Amino acid sequence: MKKNYVCSDVHAHAGVLKKALDTLDADDRLFMIGDAVDKGPDGMRALQILMDDPRCEMLIGNHDLMFLQHCICQQNADILPQDIVNDVAVRWLIRNYGIVTWEAFLEESEEEQQRIIAYLQHRPVLKIVEPENRKFILVHAAVPKDFDSAQLKDMDMDVLRDPVYPFLYDWKSDFIWGRYPTHIEGYTTVVGHTACQHFGGEYVQSEGNDWMDIDCGLAYNEPSSKLALLCLEDMSVQYFLPDGE
């Protein structure tokens, strides 16, 4: 029977992502809810695995969006205010460890670079999934506190469009940066973004039946770092360690 799985915050760990994918059947689905890039050892490879596996659907995360925003700023540096270009570059390349990702991206062919940019521009921001008569909200970080839950639906990158420069995005939105539990009646919200180690644990964290954080700290590159794979049909969780651990 086809099953739906969720993982998050792969952070350039291609090997551990491959381990998780090897446990899935051909007709299963994997939703990776953001942050394919930065901090890990494998440059573009984890992102490319997600792009090329038809079982996978990746949602946008804050690191993915900072990467995309930097690419777009570089392409449009002649028409954008320099403070916008600089702000994105400093916050991603320096403060969020994007430099290794950028160097790996520049090593790709121009055709592959454009394929990566186009893929990221068409990522979902929020997905509603309803297996086994249970409703899930999948989002990288949080549903904004002022969001009208009556309007809840699948959302794409248009929800993040910058009103002044429509080819840019609101890369500071709570959809991808919020660090608070989301509680919406009738739904279980599954997020990543904030590593469970932040809450003092090494495994998935939850509040009742309506919120779960499955980021288990691959970004930290520490002994407690692992990838959590959540099955939505039975709420079971498998954990995968990076190679050599």
CATH superfamily, domain at 4-240: Metallo-dependent phosphatases (3.60.21.10)
Span 23-30, average pLDDT: 98
> pTM score > 0.75 for this model?
yes
Q: Are 215 and 6 within 8 A, CB to CB?
A: no
Span 66-90, average pLDDT: 96
Span 74-99, average pLDDT: 94
pLDDT score recorded for residue 244: 57
Provide the mean pLDDT of the chain: 95
Span 174-184, average pLDDT: 96
Two tokens, residue 35? 């942050």
Span 84-112, average pLDDT: 95
Closest to 157 (Cα-Cα) out of 177, 144, 137, 171: 171
Q: Give the torsion through C-alpha atoms of 220, 225, 227, 233, to 10 deg.
A: -120
Q: Report whether pLDDT(166) > 90.
A: yes
Report the phi/psi class of residue 27: left, alpha or beta, with left for phi > 0 and alpha for psi in -120 to 50: alpha
Q: Are 219 and 8 within 8 A, CB to CB?
A: no
Q: Report whether pLDDT(133) > 90.
A: no
Q: Report whether pLDDT(199) > 90.
A: no
pLDDT score recorded for residue 113: 98
Report the phi/psi class of residue 240: left, alpha or beta, with left for phi > 0 and alpha for psi in -120 to 50: beta
Could you read off the pLDDT of 139-150 as tens digits, one per residue? Answer: 999 999 998 888
Q: Are strands 124-129 and 56-58 parallel, antiparallel or unpaired?
A: unpaired
DSSP string, 77-138: TTTS-HHHHHHHHIIIIITT--HHHHHHHHTS-HHHHHHHHHHHHT-EEEEEE-GGG--EEE
Give the pLDDT band of residue 63 (cuts 50, 70, 90): very high
Q: Report whether pLDDT(151) > 90.
A: no
Span 39-65, average pLDDT: 97
Q: Report whether pLDDT(245) > 70.
A: no
Two tokens, residue 223? 């002994």
Listed by start position, the domains of the chain span 4-240
